[in-house]
Chains A and B, each alone.
Chain A
Amino acid sequence: AQKITQTQPGMFVQEKEAVTLDCTYDTSDPSYGLFWYKQPSSGEMIFLIYQGSYDQQNATEGRYSLNFQKARKSANLVISASQLGDSAMYFCAMREAGQTGANNLFFGTGTRLTVIP
């Protein structure tokens, strides 16, 4: 099974509107972290927001918030007040604390967000 699933290859949003990007995950590790990254066309992976599996509250960072539903194993990213500069690829990723010590990131296939003026 895929560890991270992003079912929306592409999304469009009107400038100044809010948009939700979906992410579901699969793990049996009780300790894990969920991440969202933005990747503009330049290629760099920009960290947006992090949610730990034991965190009681949903993470927020400025215009970004993470809708964490542990029972559903979903970690959707909400971007409020979209800006033209938000147009990019968005990746959901997970890191498991694991047993081996290697806590690499598993990435989804990404969602391309386009903000329309």
Chain B
Amino acid sequence: ETGVTQSPTHLIKTRGQQVTLRCSSQSGHNTVSWYQQALGQGPQFIFQYYREEENGRGNFPPRFSGLQFPNYSSELNVNALELDDSALYLCASTSDIRGRPTEAFFGQGTRLTVV
């Protein structure tokens, strides 16, 4: 196991609703990234948090937002859910943000279904 935990594991929401997904990063890791993986695709980078601030964002609209807490855990919030938001949402933690790229450890993901 990687030590990265996500909750909940599965979720069903109605179009237009809001959702919050949670991630607890691996001990000692100060950077958390979120990815969206649509069915049959590779994960797509949503955004990254370092020291409680967003530090990079992929091609996702502002209704995707996040938080990082002092203990490095993180939340992903999605407002005004759309059917296309149905996907596996993965959280990854790494130990550093500068210098050599380091390995990222992923949680088991949250599978979100929007109906």
Known: A43-B108, A43-B109. A108 touches B42 (CB 8 A): yes
The contact string, 1 if C-beta is below 8 Å from chain A, for chain B 20-56, is 0000000000000101000001111100101000011
Residues of the A chain whose Cβ atoms lie less than 8 Å from the Cβ of B100 = 31, 33, 52, 54, 97
For A32, what are the chain B residues with a Cβ–Cβ distance below 8 Å? Answer: 101
A25 part of interface (Cβ distance < 8 Å): no
| One of A13-21, A64-72, A98-106 at the interface | A98-106
Using known A-B contacts A32-B101, A91-B43, A97-B100, determine if residue A102 contacts B56 with beta carbons closer than 8 Å. yes
Total A-B residue contacts, Cβ distance less than 8 Å: 83
Note all chain B residues with C-beta closer than 8 A to A37: 106
Whether B42 pairs with A107 at a CB distance below 8 angstroms is yes
Residue among A46, A54, A95 with the highest chain B CB neighbour number at 10 A: A95
Interface positions of B from 71 to 115, Cβ below 8 Å from A: 88, 90, 92, 94, 97-109, 111
Complex: A37 Cα to B2 Cα, angstroms: 13
User: How far apart are A27's CB and chain B's nearest CB, in angstroms?
Assistant: 11
A47, B103: Cα distance in complex, Å: 8
- Chain A residues with CB under 8 Å of chain B are 4, 31-33, 35, 37, 42-47, 50, 52, 54, 91, 93, 95-97, 100-110
